[in-house]
A and B are shown apart, each in its own frame.
Chain A
């Protein structure tokens, strides 16, 4: 808990300093507006990042097909709505594709690379991403589309900004996921097994942890998160399979902010990234390149992770 508070302090300090520097001389409600907007964007990154980290911890796979899985889910959901299927059912069916695709990949293809290095597993997931993206692009033409949820219509006013309920759902879901998964990892049996697996796969298999069962759960859970992220991206960003597929990149940035292991840090880092990106609008020099914020922050986190590292060897030694 103390670690989380320390992190929180660091992230808030970082955002605070930048807010003061950039917001200098501007009215406070303008600042508030950008912060709220940034939280909305950042929570999307954090959502994707959480799915990535949950899966990575359990299986060593950084699933670069996360965006593509989300793209499939939202395109199918959209199509089902177009065909007149009862909307909530359509969303659920689209959402269900998330865990289905992820688990299918995890059980058939990823399992054949189970003992290889993480970088190889990540590269392979790129293949899966292209297969999915290619299929979706092939099946649906390039026309512009909109994916809408009823929560888009309801909104609340926060610090002068009109925030749709959809965005609140995203923030709420992200927080709930972090709390829920962290709690499950800590207090359930399967959570314990997942932590053991993340720690040392070889040893875990030796002491009798049901690897396949734990991993399948991880794939399914992360697949569900990816599917949900896809639906949210489709609603809040753009319903474009290619765009959604490669939104995995800022989600990876959020995952890096969590050092690929700490869910609370993914959340805080993702939110901070969104807010900083938004605050950069206030700077004339940087406003054109503000989407670079997540990448710069991720690079800084990597630099910090590297400090004090004496020697490290890749692979088994």
Chain B
């Protein structure tokens, strides 16, 4: 379970996150909101790229106590709005690049990588150089990196960016299947409301850094306050 408690982030005079509190327990949960709402900022805090006040705990553990690069070893995975595949490396090497930093023997890591490739369905292109991958393959490779090595928390930031409808559907299926792989909980940011409503059991809605709704996705999406935030109009009971 991910517990956000009064999480606040300030950049100079701007409050990017304003005392956000939520207990996120669904296997796959979403974070949505208009641009600038603080969705990526939330992930950046957990990744360790920003200083914050308030607290974040994952299954009772405070990842903020660890230096950012050690959180991966602990079990944190992250994808970004733009895919982050190293052109210099093949698909398999891209996965090795993350496996390098996990605990375990070389044999265990090799097995983990094979499992991840198998799960995402890209074993066939394991030897393909990063520079030659198309957008979908890159997104899949990103996802494979995220499921390598039995992670605890996977944060996906707009994982379907640049994908067609079919590709998005496939990606959605994969994300839904992640919790069954191991112990991982998944957080997804996306603007595609259909995708979110299909794969996320719970959703957190942010606007201007504040939580404006949290709960079962269908309920949240029907909330007038959420609609108002997206359309920029005043809600009746804001």
Kindly state the separation between the CA atoms of A92 and B211 in the bound complex, as whole angstroms. 64
Instruction: Enumerate chain A residues within 8 angstroms of B49, measured Cβ to Cβ.
Output: 311
**Which A271-317 residues have C-beta < 8 A from chain B?**
310-311, 317
Q: Select from chain B the residue with minimum beta-carbon distance to A310.
A: B51
| Complex: A74 Cα to B48 Cα, angstroms | 53
A310 to B49, CA, bound (A): 8
Tell me, yes or no, whether B172 is within 8 Å of chain A by CB.
no
B68 at the interface (CB under 8 A from A): yes
Whole-angstrom distance between the alpha carbons of A317 and B40 in the complex?
Answer: 12
In chain B, positions 30-60 with a C-beta closer than 8 Å to chain A are 48-49, 51
Give the distance to chain B from A107, nearest Cβ to Cβ, in Å.
31
Question: Taking CB as reference atom, which chain B residue is nearest A313?
Answer: B49
State A90–B186 Cα separation when bound (angstroms): 72
Name the A residues within 8 Å of B51 (CB-CB): 310
Closest partner residue, chain B, to A316 (CB atom): B82
Give every chain A residue within 8 A of B68 (Cβ-Cβ).
311
Q: Which residues in B have their C-beta under 8 angstroms from that of A310?
A: 51
Most buried by A among B48, B49, B51, B80: B49
User: Contact string, A203-236, partner B, CB cutoff 8 A, digits 1/0?
Assistant: 0000000000000000000000000000000000
- B3 CB to closest chain A CB, in angstroms? 24
Distance A311 CA – B51 CA, assembled complex (angstroms): 10
Complexed CA–CA distance, A29 and B49 (Å): 55
**Closest A residue by C-beta to B51:** A310
What 0/1 readout, one digit per residue, does chain A (72-110) give for beta carbons within 8 Å of chain B?
000000000000000000000000000000000000000
A312 and chain B: residue at smallest CB distance: B49
Which chain B positions have C-beta within 8 A of A317? 80
B6 to chain A, nearest CB (A): 21
Binary CB contact string for chain A from 161 to 194 against chain B (1 if under 8 A, 0 otherwise): 0000000000000000000000000000000000
Q: How far is the CA of A310 from the CA of B50 in the complex (A)?
A: 8
CA distance in complex: A317, B157 (Å): 13
Shortest B100–chain A CB gap in Å is 20
Residues of B within 8 A of A311 (CB): 48-49, 68
For the complex, give the distance between the alpha carbons of A310 and B64 in Å: 14
| Bound CA–CA A229/B49 (angstroms) | 43
Question: In the complex, A128 Cα to B207 Cα: how many Å?
Answer: 49
A282 to chain B, nearest CB (A): 45
A285–B9 alpha-carbon span in the complex (Å): 51
The chain B residue with its CB closest to the CB of A311 is B49
- Taken together as a complex, chains A and B put the C-alpha atoms of A311 and B68 apart, in Å, by 10
B12 to chain A, nearest CB (A): 13
A70 to B141, CA, bound (A): 52
The CA-CA distance from A267 to B73 in the complex, in Å, is 48
Shortest distance in angstroms between A209's beta carbon and chain B's nearest beta carbon? 22
User: Which residues of the partner chain A approach B48 to less than 8 Å between Cβ atoms?
Assistant: 311
Q: How far is the CA of A311 from the CA of B48 in the complex (A)?
A: 9
Determine the distance from Cα of A3 to Cα of B45 in the docked complex, in whole angstroms.
Answer: 32
Closest to B49 in A: A311
Q: In the bound complex, what is the Cα–Cα distance between A105 and B48 (angstroms)?
A: 42
**Which residues of chain B in 92-133 are interfacial with respect to chain A, using CB atoms and an 8 Å cutoff?**
none
Query: In the docked arrangement, what's the CA distance between A34 and B183, Å?
Result: 71
Alpha-carbon gap, A317 to B44, bound state (A): 11
Which residue of chain A has the shortest Cβ distance to B47 in the bound complex?
A311
Residue of A nearest to B80 (CB): A317
Assembly CA distance A311 to B44 (angstroms): 12
CA distance A310 to B11 in the complex (A): 13
Report Cα–Cα, A310/B51, bound state, in Å.
9
- A222, chain B: closest CB distance, angstroms: 30
B144-195 contacts to A, CB under 8 A, are none
Tell me, rounded to whole Å, the shortest Cβ–Cβ distance linking A168 to chain B.
42
Expressed in whole angstroms, the Cα–Cα distance for A317 and B68 within the complex equals 16
Cα–Cα distance between A33 and B44 once the two chains are bound (Å): 56
CB distance from A54 to the nearest CB of B (A): 26
Kindly supply a per-residue 1/0 record for chain A positions 228-259, scoring 1 wherever the CB is within 8 Å of any chain B CB and 0 otherwise.
Answer: 00000000000000000000000000000000
A317–B49 alpha-carbon span in the complex (Å): 11
A278 and B68 CA atoms in complex are apart in Å by 46
A204–chain B nearest beta-carbon distance, Å = 19
CA distance A198 to B191 in the complex (A): 32
Give the Cβ gap from A3 to chain B, nearest Cβ, in Å. 16
**Distance, CA A310 to CA B80, complexed state (A):** 20
Min CB distance, B47 to chain A, in Å? Answer: 10
Chain B, residues 65-83, CB within 8 Å of chain A (1/0): the string is 0001000000000001000
Chain B residue with Cβ nearest A317: B80
A312–chain B nearest beta-carbon distance, Å: 10
Q: How far is the CB of B79 from chain A (nearest CB, A)?
A: 13
- What is the CB-to-nearest-CB distance from A316 to chain B, in angstroms, rounded to a whole number? 9
Query: In the docked arrangement, what's the CA distance between A30 and B120, Å?
Result: 77
The smallest beta-carbon distance between A126 and chain B, in angstroms, is: 25
Q: List 5 A-B contacts (CB under 8 A).
A: A310-B51, A311-B48, A311-B49, A311-B68, A317-B80
Q: Which residues of A contact B (CB under 8 A)?
A: 310-311, 317
Closest 5 CB pairs of A and B: A311-B49, A310-B51, A311-B68, A311-B48, A317-B80
